[in-house]
Each structure stands twice: as C-alpha cells, then as structure tokens.
Structure 1
Amino acid sequence: MVDHGPRTGAKVALTFDADMTDGMLASLRAGRVKSYANLRILDLLEREQVPATFFLTGKWVKRYPDVTRRIAGNPRFELANHTYGHAAFTADCYDLPRLPVDELAGDVAKTFEVIAPYGGRQTRYFRFPGLCHDAAALDALAPLGVTVVDGDVVSGDPFATAWKPLVRAVLDHVRPGSVVIMHVTEANAAMTDEALPHILAGLRERGLVPAPLSEVLTT
C-alpha cells in the first residue's frame, strides 16, 4: 500500500476517481443529474498534454464506454481499478453499502476484466472507495497482485460548492512524489474542472511536473 512516491525530483501524480454506484445510475436514468463524466477535465488535460491516472469503477466504464476509450487512447493517461460499483470494503465508510469479505477479490477482478478490452496503459493499481480499508480487505486482495494506492493530497472535490478551496487543498500540501486525489464524476464533483487550471498553474510555479502514477511511484 502506498500514499506517495519518493520525495526526490519534481514529479507528482494527478489521479481522478470515476465513481459509479447503483444510486448514481438511478439518478442518471431519472434525469436528476446530467452526467458523471466531466469531459472538460479531459479536454484540459489533452489540450495541455498533462499526464493523469484514472481509477475507474466497472459500472462507470460500462456507462461511459466512449469516454473510457478516449482515456485509454491517450498515451499520457493510465487506467487503474476503483472497484466495480463503489461499494465499501469495510464497515462505516461514508454510508456506502458494504460488500462481504468473500466477495472483495471477485469484485476487483471483475473490474479488471471490464477495463481490459479497452487497452491503453493499464495498471494493477487499485484504490478503495473512500480510502476505507482494513487488514481483512488488504488480505482479501493480496492474491490479485494489486498495488493499493491511497494518496497524500486529498482535494476534497466531492460535493464542493466552490473551486478555490480545492486549489488551496492541493497546493498547500503537494510535494515531490505526491499523489493527488480528484474526481472526474461531474455531478458529484462539479468544481474540479474549474479548479484544475489553477492547480496546474500552481504546480508549475512550484516547479512540480505532473506524471503518470507509475512514473511517480518508481522514480
């Protein structure tokens, strides 16, 4: 399990979680929300040629196959695993429904199978929903050979109502080797695309360079 890479050099990893629960799918079907795929984030990263790593849930991939293909088709983007349906792997995890311990490995393996056909820069990186994990959850995933990645810089973008606090949350804590946690789930993280240009500018001012997660963790 890792929170960050070596504190040498200048590389940092920008990671974006793509959550998707049954409740979120129901909101889409009912028209209560427009989208859980923030294409403005992709537009900016592509335009600025910024590397990033996306932690995808299987249900998000199935809901947004075209967006997944777009991510997989960018050589600067990496794909990682964020469970199949963003259920909790421990008790008391942000009111998320909990999966039984004997289903955890199957859930993660299924997600890798969903992502695999899209190709691109796929990894064995995995992030728990809500970063909630315990010894039992880690033991359950050990046979899969995943690297569990939390992060040391939490943007706080879920359900944020203003972009400036997100910029401060990132730039006040980012260091060489940092793993920054953000979300690409537009309706649940509506300020991320507004904060991102300012985050990128702040990284440049600090001499920090976004890089794929694999490079940040191994450099």
Structure 2
Amino acid sequence: MDHGPRVGDRVALTFDADMTDGMLNNLRTGRVKSYANLRILDRLEREQVPATFFLTGKWVQRYPDLTRRIAGNPRFELANHTYGHLAFTGDCYDLPRVAAGGMTEDVARTFRVIEPYGGRQTRYFRFPGLCHDEAALDALAPLGVTVVDGDVVSGDPFATAWKPIVRAVLEHVRPGSVVIMHVTEANAAMTDEALPYILAGLRERGLVPAPLSEVLAAA
C-alpha cells in the first residue's frame, strides 16, 4: 500500500527508525553520537503533530526511553520496520540479507520487542529500502501485517542540505499521501531542519498531518 484515498485533507508523516549491526558498532566505537533525532520529536510534540514511527527492534532496544516517549504520546503510532534492517530481497541498497527461512520470525520478533511499550501499536510494516517480492510477502502473510511503502520519498537519508528534502516532499504530497522520513539522526542529519518547512508547506496547501491509520482507514 502506497497511500490512502485521494480525498479530504489528511496526510501521514512516517519516520523510519533504522538500526543495523554496523550502526550499533558505530555507536559503540564512538564513530557516531546518535541515531535518534530528538529535535524531530521535540517539534512534533511542541506543535502537536501526529506521526507514525516504523521501528526496528534493535533501535527500540538501543533507545528504550525514547521508545517509551513515543509510545506515551497519543498522537504517535508504532509500526514495524524489521528487527535489524536486513534486506528481504537481493540487491537492496547493499543491505545484508535476512535468511529466506527467517523472514517471518524477524518481523514477529520485532512485534514482540515493541509490544511491552504499549501506546498506539499497529500491524503496519515497512520493508527496509521498500524492497520486497512475492516470497517476502508470502512469508509475512501469517502475521497479518499491512505492508506500507509510501508515495512521497523525502530522500533524507544522507542528505547534506534541508532544502531538497522539503522540495521532494512538497512537490509530490497530495491528499492521502504517506511521507517517508527518518529519525536516525546521524544517517539523516537534515530532517529536523527540513521538518518545520514541510509542516508550513502542508498548512499552505491545506493538508493536515494525521496518524497513518486515519489516512489509510478509508482505503
């Protein structure tokens, strides 16, 4: 599913929280300070903006207090982004690949990691890199997930300036859109700078951020 119905004025702001073993090693060695952009959360909370967070299990385990903060906000929804951000297909942005027989358990494990935090939990799921095929979809069928890609790709990972992120979002956003951004600070350092301009641009277009479940509800 890429988006909701093209009616009304609602759009979904979604934020992926990636975490790989390589990223964990960067934190351990001090090469990277943080993969959690608190300025994004601060702004969303301050302006009372709904959002949906696609969490990897390893990010949750690395940032339990932040996960509690997200879960404790009634405007935020929690969704699943795999356990360790492994690829579910070959040739997916050079990501290491999860074993074919391990796909179902990888996603099930992530739900188990997220579950104790409570809050507005969903069965929404996003593949790393949006890479999936029939085998991957078949593997997840028993879990009853709704796969959500998105129709507005911000391009924020590894961006070196905020203006292209804003432009990428505002040029493509429409009623029912699902916007993909990241809350992984070191890998998406410009997202918090782009966010206020994105929010202002949505207001100018008469578009209102809403939880993903509301945007997809009528689909």
Q: TM-score range by the shorter chain?
A: over 0.9
Please list the CA deviations of residues 137-161 of structure 1 after superposition, one character each: whole Å capped at 9, or x if unmatched.
Answer: 0000000000000000000000000
Runs of 4+ residues over 3 Å off in structure 1: none
The one-letter code matched in structure 1 to 2:130 is: L
Query: C-alpha deviations, 1:167-210, integer Å up to 9, x for none?
Result: 00000000000000000000000000000000000000000000
The corresponding residue for 1:151 is 150
5 Å-filtered alignment, 1:174-213, equals 174-213=173-212
Offset, 1:101: 1.6
TM-score relative to the length of structure 2: 0.99
RMSD: 0.4
Summarize deviations over 1:118-148 as a string: whole Å, max 9, x none: 0000000000000000000000000000000
- Match for 2:101: what amino acid? D
Give 1:67 deviation, angstroms.
Answer: 0.3
Tell me by how many angstroms 1:100 deviates. Answer: 1.6
- Consecutive unaligned residues of structure 2, counting only runs of 5 or more, are none
Name the structure 1 match of 2:139.
140
TM-score, normalised on structure 1? 0.99
1:41 aligns with 2:40: yes
Q: Matched residues in 2 for 1:218 and 1:82: separation?
A: 20
After superposition, residues 1-219 of structure 1 pair within 5 angstroms as: 2-219=1-218
- Take 2:95 and 2:103, find their aligned partners in 1: how far apart are those partners? 14
Please give the secondary structure, in 1, of the residue aligned with 2:32.
coil
Percent of pairs with identical residues: 87
Q: Which runs of 5+ in 1 are unaligned?
A: none
Matched positions, count:
218
Q: Deviations over 1:8-51 (max 9, x none)?
A: 00000000000000000000000001000000000000000000
Q: SS in structure 1 opposite 2:16?
A: strand
In structure 2, distance between residues paired with 1:177 and 1:145:
23
Amino acid across the alignment from 1:151 = G
